């Protein structure tokens, strides 16, 4: 994967998507409750996570309680993180 997909570039061009992606990238895994502390609404965070999962930038490990769902960076997400300078 030498070039970044245009859709992924557009996705990460949006501030909320980029911030959430960067937090997961930096920490390698993050729970939903930690992401909600970024200041975005729960609904916005959930939409961002859905979009990031759609492009396989992150994965999800579900928990009994939503707040404890864990989101982790995927191999593809790591590659994109190395190619994009934020």
Partnered with residue 59 across adjacent β-strands are: 72
* Per-residue pLDDT tens digits for 60-85: 999 999 999 999 999 999 999 998 86
Q: What is the largest CA-CA distance in the chain?
A: 39
For 55, list phi and psi in degrees, rounded to 5: -100, 15
CA pair distance 15, 3, nearest whole angstrom: 21
Q: pTM for this structure?
A: 0.90
Q: Is the pLDDT of residue 1 over 70?
A: no
pLDDT tens-digit series, residues 12-52 = 999 999 999 999 999 999 999 999 988 899 999 999 999 99
Number of CB atoms found within 10 A of residue 36's CB? 15
C-beta atoms surrounding 32 within 10 Å: 19
Main-chain dihedrals φ then ψ at residue 31, nearest 5 degrees: -90, 155
């Amino acid at each position: 994967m030498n070039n970044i997909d245009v859709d992924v570039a557009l996705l990460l061009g949006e501030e909320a998507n980029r911030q959430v992606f960067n937090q997961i990238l930096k920490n390698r895994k993050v729970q939903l409750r930690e992401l909600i502390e970024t200041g975005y609404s729960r609904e916005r965070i959930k939409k961002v996570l859905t979009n990031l999962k759609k492009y396989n930038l992150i994965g999800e490990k579900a928990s009994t309680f939503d707040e404890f769902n864990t989101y982790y960076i995927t191999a593809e997400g790591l590659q994109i993180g190395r190619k994009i300078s934020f």
